[in-house]
Amino acid sequence: MRALFKDIKGLVGCYENPPNFVAGENMKNFPVLENAWMEVVGEKIIGFGSMSTCPKAPSGKVQIISCTNRYIIPSWCDSHSHLVYANDRAGEFLDRLRGLSYEEIAAKGGGILNSASALQKLPEDDLFDRSLDRLLEIVKLGVGALEIKSGYGLTLKAERKTLRVIKRLKQVSPIPIRATFLGCHAVPAEFNDSSDYTDHVISDMLPQFVSEGLVDYVDAFCETGYFSIEDVTRLIDAASKLNIKCKIHVNQFNILGGVKLCVNEGALSVDHLEIIDDADIAALKESLISGSPTFPVALPLCSHFLGLPYTPGRKLVDAGLPLALATDQNPGTSPSGDMTEVVRLGSLKMGLEPIEAIAAATLNGAAAMELENEVGTITPGKLANFFVTREMSGLEEIPYRLNDVVVEKVYVNGELWVG
């Protein structure tokens, strides 16, 4: 396809030479070119500019798409999801409405272990079909790059099945996908403790899965009742010997020192951070000095769904950090892959300006899965993954419109996908 998008009210995140990420006050400067054009050839963006410089397209050869009163935004880059699972956990949700906490539900055999026993029983092809349905659903909602974790297998066989499903999704997916091995997600009943199970993950699973080409990153749930700082330190060291970077679940319920550990070990991201202290923020700032920071990733749908505090996004950005926003799509704490809703909550609950929330959900999300050279901004040479909004007077209409659909037309690899 060759297409010229004209009269765009605002072309968001457009750069000739984009940075790898945006941090602190630069997030407010994520560019919006008013009254703009953009041209796409094949699967790539090839140019953009102000309407005063709009190329005269020879008629018939180029599709002209008028975007009057509409914004064009780079597709959402969701850097944290658990999209591959067997079933939802709506029954547990009823328990929670009746007063049980996340921890209490887990203690009675619900939670992650419940999802693991369902996934262990499900044939790989069924797991693939269900996961592909979810993937195609979120692409329709404007997601143009995605990270997917394993972690509902919890045996060598079932974790491999999950990672194989992610690999098969990569092969058929219209959007780029990164695979994260989250072996240390919960301790299976047949192990004495988290340390024993971590030994199994490090010795038996990780090297095999890496040699089979199934792993881009490694993750662990660093939390009281799940995996300790000692467990996670050993896991990160083992991954780093295999040249694999980490993205770690930290500070969801308790501060155990995971942020400092991850920064010291050069982790790509620390995710959740519902609870975070000044020492953690200082550690994250340190990581910026190298130019390859540990990205703080906030997951506001999880806070919304579990009634947890929201990650203090405003504070993190004011501290100069490159905040990323993601869905955490999973059956237990965030049964949604809707990044527009994440961006809304970023403004409504975390105090971000709409443009900051958009930068966090596009370029910084891409950077938190090392896909910033392919997606995340409107840049010549990058994939033409973007969406056209409904008519809007300003970007503030995204959070303002609560439940209204704002993503009107979705383009993936230069092709119209929805709209």
Q: Tell whether residue 159 is a contact of Fe ion (CB under 5 A).
A: no
Q: Tell whether residue 310 is a contact of ligand NIG (CB under 6 A).
A: no
Q: How far apart are CA 187 and CA 20, in angstroms?
A: 37
Rounded to 5 degrees, what are φ and ψ at 253?
Answer: -115, -30
Rounded to 5 degrees, what are φ and ψ at 265?
Answer: -90, 5
Q: Residue 326 binds which one of ligand NIG, Fe ion, none, with CB within 5 to 8 A depending on kind?
A: none
Give the count of residues interacting with Fe ion (CB under 5 A).
1
Q: Tell whether residue 209 is a contact of ligand NIG (CB under 6 A).
A: no
Question: By C-beta, is 112 or 244 nearer to ligand NIG?
Answer: 112
Q: Residue 111 binds which one of ligand NIG, Fe ion, none, with CB within 5 to 8 A depending on kind?
A: ligand NIG
On whether the CB atoms of residues 368 and 269 are closer than 8 A, the answer is yes
Closest listed residue to residue 271, CA positions, set 132, 131, 147: 147
Q: Is 337 left (phi over 0), alpha (psi -120 to 50) or beta?
A: alpha
CA distances from 48 to 4, 43, 58, 267, 321 (A): 9, 15, 17, 35, 29
Q: Residue 112 binds which one of Fe ion, ligand NIG, none, with CB within 5 to 8 A depending on kind?
A: ligand NIG
Contacting range for ligand NIG; rule: CB under 6 A; set: 40-48, 60-68, 109-117, 162-170: 109-117
Q: How far apart are CA 144 and CA 42, in angstroms?
A: 16
Q: How far apart are CA 39 and CA 55, in angstroms?
A: 9
Q: Tell whether residue 328 is a contact of Fe ion (CB under 5 A).
A: yes
Q: Is 106 left (phi over 0), alpha (psi -120 to 50) or beta?
A: alpha
Q: How far is the CB of 299 from Fe ion (least distance, A)?
A: 7
Q: Tell whether residue 86 is a contact of ligand NIG (CB under 6 A).
A: no
Binding mask 315-334 for ligand NIG (x = CB under 6 A): -------------x-xxxx-
**Sole residue written with tokens 């959740």:** 272
Q: How far is the CB of 369 from ligand NIG (least distance, A)?
A: 16
Q: Tell whether residue 188 is a contact of ligand NIG (CB under 6 A).
A: no
Interface pick for ligand NIG out of 79, 198, 252, 287 (rule CB under 6 A)? 252
Closest listed residue to residue 60, CA positions, set 139, 138, 4, 124: 4
Binding mask 333-352 for ligand NIG (x = CB under 6 A): x-------------------
Interface pick for ligand NIG out of 13, 18, 111, 293 (rule CB under 6 A)? 111
**List of residues contacting ligand NIG (CB under 6 A):** 82, 111-112, 115, 221, 249, 252, 302, 328, 330-333
**List of residues contacting Fe ion (CB under 5 A):** 328
